[in-house]
A and B are shown apart, each in its own frame.
Chain A
């Protein structure tokens, strides 16, 4: 359940689903084959999977955070 609260996981899941939909559609569509759907599907899926992988690396969430976030509060 906690994983679903991780925005990287949610974004990754969304783009993986949409990417796979575009891929399946471009491969099965009866109309003229459209490379833009195929390529977009591939890019979306790769981006989605990368976001999901990132969400499993807990430290990655804090990567941009200072070692001690309150160190530079100044006041």
Chain B
């Protein structure tokens, strides 16, 4: 793929804008709270778009187009089943606890609800996870630029890391959030013409229906058995594993996304943030999944749209979007498309680094190393953590280049930690009897259950490192089932240990548990200002979309 002067100019202008945002916001950052929490002063439209953008990293943009080509419309389950319901639940039921408790982070909520050890366990695993994710994002950016544009790996790594460092160091979380919103518009407006051109060339929707195998143009058809749909997942694993455990575990407990709602100006706005974010989220498949499906149609009607193979000789679905960019975009708009990809990588990295900052500073440093220091001190720690976080990300990117399997292993271990987390939060928020020991041992046993299940099952040649007790139809099915089992084990262990240990008195749980918290009275006159009615409206639209594309 050859870029022209106009394309490089657009990329340069984007770099100029993101760095300028950091410099402009620098004068607004005076305390650690400003730097790490944006002083809870961000307007609703920004928090909502940042909430969805924090999840719109490169793995999402490239990965969903790849899944679109591999699984077809079934990929939409990650949005209409695996996101919308959980986002609405977060807004209506969980935000009052996060925001109302004045916790500055998700681990801090765990400390308020349970104890220090549960918070520390969650904080350390989250901090390691985010900083490695940031590095993997950086590695993926450099590899993609090397593959499609021939850019030098080292130049891509250091250029992207330097730009992210400048704007996050200067403007902190606010700068990262502002750039996420800019990135959102860039991705939508930069890829929408690609969808239009692709649809036009494929003969519109009727051309897609004619040229793409029917099995890939449904959502629920064939879900009765793992062998009768492209995802290789049965309906129960999909609904329970993805729709409940993984979706609610990610959208309701991952601090990276929840942080965007926690910096809202009021509780009402914090509650509406994920619900409003769900609106663009349910339409996002048009931008991120459709390109993969369009590619399938174009492969039938045109030449030159075949995907390359990877080092293992398998079709490299991750090249779906870059292939379409190369074939359909002329110089000019091509620069916008490439900039959108770069933006998604950099924004994903910045989101991880800023979440790492907050958790490190508040939940590890302030909690275990130096309490009661000045605001200026925590500001300095936050800024120093930014530099350290970026440097670890760069180091991770180089490690990933040398030992790709280690990165796969790390991501696998992180998924074990994440899988049971929602059970802990769910019980903690809705059952006042849940004790600190119950939560801690529940988390540990859930994590262990996830690892053991992986060790006893095999899918696509992965897992089964203890014994091959069961073989799943696909890796996706294995992941959904591991999550489901981890959740159930965590839930049961937490409940059993809690019943056998002394609960905290009700007076200490005010504002932290549903039954001991005054119910929200949303007196907003307009329905779209009321989180409940807004959530119901989004829910109805989501259900209708599921029915239409059954």
Which A residues have a C-beta under 8 Å from some C-beta of B? Answer: 4-5, 7, 10-11, 13-15, 17-18, 21-22, 25-26, 29, 31, 34, 36-37, 39-40, 43-44, 47, 61-62, 64-66, 69-75
Question: B interface, by DSSP: helix, strand, loop or mixed?
Answer: helix
Kindly state whether residue B96 has any CB partner on chain A within 8 Å.
yes
Give Cα distance in the complex from A4 to B43, angstroms.
16
| Least CB distance, B514 to chain A, in whole angstroms | 12
Q: Are B529 and A73 in contact (CB under 8 A)?
A: no
Give Cα distance in the complex from A75 to B517, angstroms.
7
| Chain B residues with CB under 8 A of A36 | 193, 197, 329-330, 332-333
| Chain B residues with CB under 8 A of A73 | 100, 266-268
* The 5 nearest A-B residue pairs measured at CB: A69-B266, A37-B332, A34-B330, A72-B268, A75-B100
Q: Are B185 and A72 in contact (CB under 8 A)?
A: no
Give Cα distance in the complex from A69 to B523, angstroms.
12
Give Cα distance in the complex from A43 to B188, angstroms.
12
- A–B Cβ pairs within 8 angstroms, 19 of them: A5-B25, A7-B178, A10-B20, A14-B17, A21-B6, A22-B6, A22-B333, A26-B332, A44-B336, A64-B43, A65-B43, A66-B266, A66-B529, A69-B265, A72-B268, A73-B267, A74-B520, A74-B521, A75-B517
Q: Are A66 and B25 in contact (CB under 8 A)?
A: no
Q: Are B24 and A5 in contact (CB under 8 A)?
A: yes
| Chain A residues with CB under 8 A of B182 | 7, 10-11, 14
| Chain A residues with CB under 8 A of B462 | none
Give Cα distance in the complex from A43 to B196, angstroms.
14
| Chain B residues with CB under 8 A of A17 | 13
When C-beta atoms are compared, the residue in chain B nearest to A38 turns out to be B332
Q: Are B24 and A4 in contact (CB under 8 A)?
A: yes
Kindly state whether residue B181 has any CB partner on chain A within 8 Å.
yes
Per-residue 0/1 for B13-40: is the Cβ within 8 Å of any A Cβ (1 yes, 0 no)? 1100100110011001000000000000
When C-beta atoms are compared, the residue in chain A nearest to B530 turns out to be A72
- Range of interface residues on B (Cβ < 8 Å): 35 or more
| Least CB distance, A10 to chain B, in whole angstroms | 6
| Chain A residues with CB under 8 A of B333 | 22, 34, 36-37, 40
Give Cα distance in the complex from A31 to B100, angstroms.
59
| Chain B residues with CB under 8 A of A66 | 266, 268-269, 524, 529
| Least CB distance, B354 to chain A, in whole angstroms | 16
Pick the most buried of B25, B330, B520, B521: most chain A CB atoms within 10 A of its CB.
Answer: B330
| Chain B residues with CB under 8 A of A11 | 181-182, 185
Q: Are B523 and A71 in contact (CB under 8 A)?
A: yes
Kindly state whether residue B518 has any CB partner on chain A within 8 Å.
yes
Q: Are B265 and A34 in contact (CB under 8 A)?
A: no
Kindly state whether residue B10 has any CB partner on chain A within 8 Å.
yes
| Least CB distance, B266 to chain A, in whole angstroms | 4
| Chain A residues with CB under 8 A of B185 | 11, 15, 47
Option from A39, A61, A71 in Cβ contact (under 8 Å) with B193: A39
| Least CB distance, A40 to chain B, in whole angstroms | 5
Give Cα distance in the complex from A37 to B375, angstroms.
49
Per-residue 0/1 for B25-69: is the Cβ within 8 Å of any A Cβ (1 yes, 0 no)? 100100000000000000111100000000000000000000000
